[in-house]
A and B are shown apart, each in its own frame.
Chain A
Amino acid sequence: MLDMIKNYTTFIDRTNPVTKLSLGVMIFITVVLMHNPNQLFYLALMLMLTLLLFSGVRIRYLVLLIGVMLAFGLFSSAYMIFYGEGRTTLFSFGIIHVTEESLMRGIHIMMRGLALSFFGALIIFTTRITDVFYSLMQQLRIKPKYAYSFMAAIRMVPIIAREYISLRQARKVRKPLIHKKYVSGITGFKTTIVTLLSQSIRRAWRLSVAMESKGFDDGPRTYYHQTSFSISDFWLVIFTVLLFIFSMIFGTIIEPFATTDAR
């Protein structure tokens, strides 16, 4: 499916998923510890540029995605903008009380979310999901039992979604014939989930039996897809570290915001 929206691949596609995941965690920690909105601004900006240039995805999909991310980022920081503490009032209406300080803090929280979302999208667009589990087994020695459970379960996602659609259709045709208490409200929700769960548990159980019948156990095995670290991993780490350093420097030279601490 990804192939349909991708134009080209870059060294990030060739990076080991474990490296990308670790960098993801590193960016998260950095972002939480960063209180200077000027530096965070450059970090988020550069991560957005990285997404635009290195994901290989067609530009119009990316623009759309970034637009959605901006909107969601704004929503999720609304609580701070409207109700955060602060002294310099900018706007007040009923219980809403926007201050300079709370606005700044809100924007800061939003930029945190955006930086993480940009990097997350970059990972999604440059990684095959089965490779994640193959490399978790090969590089991080995760037990095959866990990795293959995830891979097998992923195969079931479209089946679950199809079942949900059929279930909705079946209810639509039964609805006119029966009392609506059976299909509406919490009862309807409960029976829907229970049917989906029951079907999926049965299927998962059968699949686990089938997997064991094919000789699967938690012991040593070989891997059809070999994953390893390469020079690309080195470049991506260097690249990310450079992003950090640049955002630190730019953040103190050209300051888009008046304050240097969002707290």
Chain B
Amino acid sequence: MTLRKGLTLADVLITVVVALVFAVVYSIWGGVYTALQPLGLHLNELVYGVWFIAAVVAYLIIRKPGVALIAEFAAASGETIVMLQFDVMLMLYGVIQGLACEIVFALIRYKSVSLMAAVSAGVAAALSTLPLDWFYGYLGQLETWNLVLMIGFRVLSGALIAGWLAHVLYRALKETGVLKLVGSRRAGHDEGL
């Protein structure tokens, strides 16, 4: 028996659905992000990590190249699908954040499912969109303390939510036995038949 290479239909479908679950949950809790904005103190950045938690969770359960990117794209388009809001910027950000995660996972060759891997990806994704924000939001013309606060919160959120929380969810999900169905398989498991 030959194992199918690359992403199977099941891999892609599960990835997209995982992202959409987060999109649904997010749309229910979504008011939080907006409610934290008016002070301008970047408290909303503390929950920034929820934007790319899907990429990390999807990678942890499937562990194949491309999954993080698809998950992130799906999570971004999830807002379009769930809340009927189309946001070009969000899609673009999703792709960049997905790519950032993908690079981290490629560096560890899609092998590790450790907490460190998850946290690194979370932080990478958090930092990845700063250059764009710099141009879009004129961050260079912000008072320094405020800028530091924003970047600090964002990195913290990437590490905590997209990294640590994603890993907690992954471990809990593993206990439910559902992950036996999915992901990359070892070759040679038909021995002894």
Contacts and interface: CB of A to CB of B under 8 A. Distances in A.
Interface of A is mostly: helix
Given A97-B143, A153-B17, A212 B9 contact: yes
A196 B88 contact: no
| Interface size range on B against A | 35 or more
Interface in A44-88: 72, 74-76, 78-86
B176 A194 contact: yes
Contact of B17 (A28, A121, A201): A201
Contact of A85 (B28, B85, B142, B181): B142
B99 to A, nearest CB: 16
Contacts of A153: 13, 16-17, 20, 74
Nearest to A190: B172
A261 to B, nearest CB: 11
Interface stretch (A6-14, A202-210, A235-243, A247-255): A202-210
30 contacts: A74-B38, A75-B37, A76-B37, A78-B38, A79-B41, A79-B42, A79-B137, A79-B150, A82-B40, A84-B138, A116-B87, A117-B85, A120-B85, A120-B88, A145-B9, A146-B12, A146-B70, A149-B15, A153-B20, A190-B172, A197-B18, A197-B57, A201-B178, A202-B178, A202-B181, A203-B17, A205-B13, A205-B14, A208-B13, A209-B10
Interface of B: 7-10, 12-18, 20-21, 23-25, 28, 34, 37-42, 57, 61, 70, 74, 77, 80-82, 84-89, 92, 135-138, 141-143, 146, 150, 168-169, 172-173, 176, 178-179, 181-182
